[in-house]
Amino acid sequence: MSVQQSASGTSDQVSTGGYELRISRLTVDKLGVKLYDKVSAVVSELVANAYDADAENVTVRLPLSTKLASNKSGLLTDAAGAIEIEDDGHGMTPDEARQFYLRVGADRRSRSQLPAVEENGNKSRIKHRPVMGRKGIGKLAPFGICRKIEVRSAGGTPDERGYLVTHFYMDFDKILTDSDDPVPLAVGADDGTRDPKSGTLIRLSNFLNKIVPDQDEFGRQMATRFYPGMANDFHIHVVDTKRNNTFDIKAIDIKLLENSRVDVSQHPLTLPDGTELPVSGWMGMAQTAYKNAELAGVRIYARNKIVAITRDFNQPSGYTGEFAVRSYLVGEITAEWIDGKVDLVRTDRQDILWDSEYGQAFKAWGANLVKQIAHQSREPRRARVADTFFSMSDFENKVAKEFQDKDIRDVAIKLGKKIGSFAAEDELGDVDFVDDLANFILTAAPQQALLNSFRDLAKHLNEGVDINIRQMNDIFKRTNIAQLAAYAQITAQRLRVIENLERIVNSRVDESEFQNLLTQAPWLIAPSWSIITSNRSLLTVKDQFERAWNESHPGDPIVLAIGYEKKRPDFVLSSIENTLHIVEIKKSGYMLGDADIDRLSNYVDAFERFFEDHVEIRNSFPRGWKITLIVDGIKSASSSQRRALQSFMDAGEVEHITWLDFLLRAKKVHEQFLEIQEKGKRELKYGTPV
């Protein structure tokens, strides 16, 4: 049927008085606008109406990947034409529209119907389908995305000219007034004419600023809203009016982990009084974590329509295996009693009433099944994750290249399967994470092989078995390999830090990034420096010096840092070899001026007085203090300032390092690591000292 063209035939005599919508304005706003703000949700409600009308085919015409309206100077302008939902169901006559369609909030399953129209509101008229609609609010759903709804339907008993047509418009702005009196609706040009075929067409226009998703997303959203088994005599066709492309909504096939699928019909739900509530469908663990929100969790259906989605049947957080369950649990369950005489579906149809008697029983039933599925799928899931890690890291080839010793290779493979199985799936998509994990396992493998050798040795000794020279040589060889593997790991980490340092120097980023690097790798300043820690002595220095400085220099506050802090500090503190090291970092390319040297002079004086005034600080750092100044150069115009800076340096109170010298020194100091790395690679490959 076409909205623009009237069907052939003349207008029949029908009930007078036009069409009126009797509804509270608040109802329109809350049930139409607030509950349905996604295009797929709106379309689904209209498709459900077509199903209840015994349609076998429903065609949805809309522009995919499109914003429905543009906002210009505060005014919305349609940018996408229209959205149409057309079906081949039994349709409705003008009288049926007035008595049933335009009554909002009446329970269609229990209301008395005209004998010629519908004998049982709980079943559809012709096919006796369990009807999806109940509260009669689905017709308001379009107001969540548009402001004008056109309804054109042909139904009733046909005569030689066809089916009687009802045609009217619902305008949101006219309906949403302060009065609750019946709202007269505009009558369409085709009203009272005849059509050769029955069916209904809903046309939406005057859109809000909503977005229609692309084909894949819209298809998933529609497919998950209706139970897959209903497709035997009901088909949803989608026409992308933007690209003139047509496709059908198909059931989604989710790949499950081996042995994780459970037929829920074999696990009856029993109430405390012994009443059995029928449940059918399946649950299981997906092979991969959720990539799309529509596929997340277990979908619960009643009357072929989705009523809830749950990832763990409303269990409280903190249970064993929670992460895996929330990331991998999937299923399709039908429980007709949820939407039966005892209505457990929330008004917004986004969930069910879990706190009800039936809801509590359903929750406990589901929780037990979830535990069973999590238990029986734990090992298959870990095996699959380990396989993914091996594939992403090319781990077996890495092991073959690193180790000649068969025992160490075997240990590395076992460690790889065990450690790799505990990785999160999203982490395995991170190349750096996978490489780091592989390198860690390669480093640990010789250590584990050495421990295994010692265990075998202890076992033989306890059993009185003699140990031969060859076995001892194997242990010594593995000891050497384990040491070299550890050196190689340290080397790799330090070389990565140096590469990062070079990037920071060359890109001249803010000094805070170097500050972060320094807290992780203080050996950049001196090879003997270890990781900076917030020990009690440093915290005392930080707190007391900041207090002393701020008292003597009001309006010129100072910030000291121990480790990385978001707020840019004036200095970073470190305690190395009984010396308090105070590091000031200026960004790459910065030149020290007279004001900077003046401030530095104040710092030197302040630290001298601070150590003189605080005996406990002097005792904590018996070798005193030293300021390391990392800055590219000096542009002081004052000779006195230059002499002051030089005097500090001559006294050993200040050390000046340029960024280039800093980088070259870090590389030179770690040349030995490069040599160890190369030696370690040869040793690990051939299994004997080189």
pLDDT of residue 5: 43
Of 418, 556, 496, the C-alpha closest to 677 is: 496
pLDDT in tens, 93-126: 999 998 888 876 555 555 444 333 344 457 888 9
pLDDT at 54: 94
Residues in the chain: 690
Is the Cβ–Cβ distance between 495 and 442 less than 8 Å?
no
**Residue 119 pLDDT:** 42
pLDDT at 488 over 70: no
Q: What angle do CA 537, 538, 543 make, to 5 degrees?
A: 100
Please state, for a pLDDT cut of 90, what percent of the chain lies above it. 23
Tokens 């010129």 found at: 556
Is the pLDDT score of 41 beyond 50? Answer: yes
3-state secondary structure 497-555: HHHHHHHHHHHCCCHHHHHHHHHHCHHHCCCCCCCCCCCHHHHHHHHHHHHHHHHHCCC
Q: Which residue has the higher pLDDT, 473 or 211?
A: 211
Which of 105-109, 196-200, 352-356, 446-450 bottoms out in mean pLDDT, i.e. has the lowest?
Answer: 105-109
Ordered DSSP codes for 31-79:
IIIIT--SHHHHHHHHHHHHHHTT-SEEEEEE-SSEESEEEETTEEEES
For residue 241, what is the DSSP state? T
CA gap 357, 22 in Å, rounded:
35
Top pLDDT among 405 and 67 is at 67
The CA distance from 325 to 254, in Å, is 16
pLDDT confidence of residue 42: 92
pLDDT at residue 263 in the model: 94
Q: How confident is the model at residue 23 (pLDDT cuts 50, 70, 90)?
A: low
Q: Look at residue 413 in the predicted model and tell me its pLDDT.
A: 93
- Asked whether residue 563 carries a pLDDT value surpassing 60, the answer given is no
**Rounded distance, CA 536 to CA 463, Å?**
51
User: Phi, psi at residue 20, to the nearest 5°?
Assistant: -135, 140
**Segment among 160-169, 587-596, 672-681 with least mean pLDDT:** 672-681
DSSP labels, 166-218: EEEEEEHHHHSSS--SPEEEEEPTTTT-EESS-EEEEEEEEE-S-EE--HHHH
Nearest to 467 by CA among 480, 452, 459, 688: 459
Query: Any bridge partners for residue 339, and if so which?
Result: 343
Pairwise CA distance, residues 58 & 86, whole Å: 6
Q: Which residue has the higher pLDDT, 107 or 581?
A: 581
- 299 burial (CB, 10 Å; 0-12 / 13-18 / 19+) is buried
How would residue 640 be classed by pLDDT, with cut points 50, 70 and 90? confident
pLDDT, averaged across the chain: 79
Lowest-pLDDT choice from 71-75, 199-203, 260-264, 282-286:
71-75
Who has greater pLDDT, 339 or 73? 339
DSSP conformational letter for 114? -
Q: Which helix (H) or strand (E) holds 316?
A: none
Q: How confident is the model at residue 86 (pLDDT cuts 50, 70, 90)?
A: very high
pLDDT of 533: 47
Give the least confident one: 270-279, 344-353, 625-634: 344-353
Which stretch of DSSP H or E encloses residue 9? none
At which residue do the structure tokens 């006294």 appear?
A: 651
Residue 521 to residue 499: CA distance in whole angstroms: 12
Task: Output DSSP code: residue 12.
Answer: P
- Does residue 85 carry a pLDDT above 90? yes
Tell how strand 75-78 and strand 69-72 pair up.
antiparallel
> Comparing 510 with 235, which gets the higher pLDDT?
235
Would you state the pLDDT for residue 422? 83
